Structure 1
Amino acid sequence: MEQPLLEVKNLTCGYQNKPVFTQVNLSLYRGQLSGLVGPSGSGKSTLMKAILGLIHPWAGEIWFRGKRLQPGTSPPRVGYVPQVETVDWNFPVTAEEVVMMGRYQKQRMLPWASRGDRTAARELLNRVGVAHIARQPIGELSGGQQQRVFLARALVGEPEIVLLDEPTSSSDLQVQHELLHLLADLNQQGLTILLSTHDLNSVATHLPWVVCFNHGLICQGQPLDIFTPANLERTFGAQMVVFHQEDRILIASGGTSLRHQMQRNLPPSLLQGKSKSA
């Protein structure tokens, strides 16, 4: 039986004596591309921070490659893309310098960037499709470019797994699709990826595995199996309408009246297939 690359066992976390989630068990396997979905405030970011060693769990264990991590310790080869809201975009650094920050995590004698650091940064910026903005200040970049720069920063340490916290939260649809296609390409090259999001339709379209989370693990599996009105209501606390056509899924909030409105507005090609809301 395959051993998980990353395993969370009976994990409980909280702040100021108030639990965020309790007894969470989750396994991520090598080469997996997974979406962690749930409403804002459901504990998705807390779970990621616990995995990264940024907060100490109240109870439970985190294992990486079959070895238990000490509380507050990050897995040895993990990359992280934080929420855009947590970044100071006015800080005076270029895109290339942001990527090189990922190299500074390694033990080194000199406090400045080496030629190898700069070469690695430029190669990663090229890999994620933004080599042309290497010398531009980070605050002058578009939202999509900023996300790619921070993805390059996460990749520069040659991680085995990358965690992305709401990477598409402030992006338009085109940027979302471009980033998710890029992540799929990186996954095809062997990178294990876990990203948190509340954008259900992007997950349904692009990701092969989904974990529904709301102060604990609700369910997990392939989107076609997991995205049902019952599971989504347990996760988001609201009624959802789910349309299926072969391997395509469309999800929206609302009840019967919204369903009728969607049926009037959806393309005929989607409505010709079998739809269901239960």
Structure 2
Amino acid sequence: MSTPIASPAPPALLARNLTVSYNDVRALDAVGVSVGTGSICGLIGVNGSGKSTLFKALMGLLVPAAGTVELYGRSSREARQRGLVAYVPQAEDVDWDFPVSVADVVAMGRYGLMGPSRRASAADRAAVDAALERVGLSGLRRRQIGELSGGQRKRAFVARSIAQDAKLLLLDEPFAGVDRSSETTLTALLQELRDEGRSVLMSTHDLAGVSQLCDSAVLLHNRVLARGRPEDVLTPSNLALAFGGALEIREP
């Protein structure tokens, strides 16, 4: 009897022909993106190129005019319900004066696992502690969230994703406006998460960082201009097409 051949596992993220319009403006034009399991993909483009719109479409927060999205072979809604995906937008829409602690924010990532009572178990508390430790915020767990620096806030919301045990992280400009310490911590953490088999799609303006951190890259300007290995995507001709000369490359 022959041994059946196992079907290959679906990619962490597979989007085909995504098209999104705002009134008469086409924000995404037949965009296709794929992120493999255990890999980091860098999403690059100028402001207004559709990066944030793409993240929202991937999460199911926007309904595209055309195209499909699969996250681990499931719909965006099902992936969210199962806690498979976590989204950290560029700017969290929160009241920074609200009296909630850093630990409380991270614990929100466990809500889907707590049941209707929202009563944290020992396992939930341990997951929050571990996530805070990984992002270097254990000593600030009782601090009110608005008292943190910009970089520390980013780390707190990434910790929320880790506490959730999400397999796919969608990070919109995770390095924007962060201090050097937070950048170093986040970079090392993303590498660790990749090594654990998790997947990341992150938008960034740091081209040098893409080459050093990412396994693949997508160059976006409302449509996909190039995709593949960072060294194949980040060529002078491709960057000129995407940025039109308004380009700043940070040194490593």
TM-score w.r.t. the length of structure 1 is: 0.79
Q: Which amino acid aligns with 1:203?
A: V
Alignment-derived partner of residue 112 in structure 2: 105
- C-alpha distance in 1, partners of 2:85/2:163? 10
Kindly report which structure 2 residues correspond to 1:156-235, keeping only aligned pairs within 5 A, or say none: 156-235=163-242
**Structure 1 stretches of 5 or more lacking a match?**
242-250, 253-265, 271-278
Which residue of the other structure, out of 113, 123, 136, is the alignment partner of 2:130?
A: 123
Shift of 1:118: 2.5
Kindly report which structure 2 residues correspond to 1:1-278, keeping only aligned pairs within 5 A, or say none: 3-67=10-74, 69=75, 74-75=79-80, 76=82, 77-84=84-91, 86-106=93-113, 108-238=115-245, 251=249
Alpha carbons of 1:53 and 1:116: their partners in 2 closer, same or farther (altered >3 Å)?
same
Alpha carbons of 1:230 and 1:240: their partners in 2 closer, same or farther (altered >3 Å)?
farther
Deviations 1:74-111 (A, max 9, x none): 54310121213644322221010001111223472214
Q: Which amino acid aligns with 1:209?
A: S
- C-alpha distance in 1, partners of 2:159/2:92? 18
Shift of 1:128: 2.1
TM-score w.r.t. the length of structure 2 is: 0.86
* Equivalent pairs, count: 243
Q: Which amino acid aligns with 1:83?
A: Q
On the 8 A contact 1:166/1:197 being kept in 2, the answer is: yes
Q: Percent identity?
A: 40
Higher relative contact order (CA 8 A, sep 6+): 2
Shift of 1:204: 2.3
On the 8 A contact 1:79/1:162 being kept in 2, the answer is: yes
Alpha carbons of 1:159 and 1:233: their partners in 2 closer, same or farther (altered >3 Å)?
same
Shift of 1:50: 0.7
Alignment-derived partner of residue 256 in structure 1: none
- C-alpha distance in 1, partners of 2:63/2:246? 35
On the 8 A contact 1:95/1:133 being kept in 2, the answer is: yes
- C-alpha distance in 2, partners of 1:82/1:3? 25
- C-alpha distance in 1, partners of 2:194/2:94? 25
Deviations 1:94-147 (A, max 9, x none): 010001111223472214444443332112111222211111111111222211
Between 76-85 and 229-238, report the one with greater CA deviation: 76-85
Alignment-derived partner of residue 3 in structure 2: none
**Structure 2 stretches of 5 or more lacking a match?**
1-7
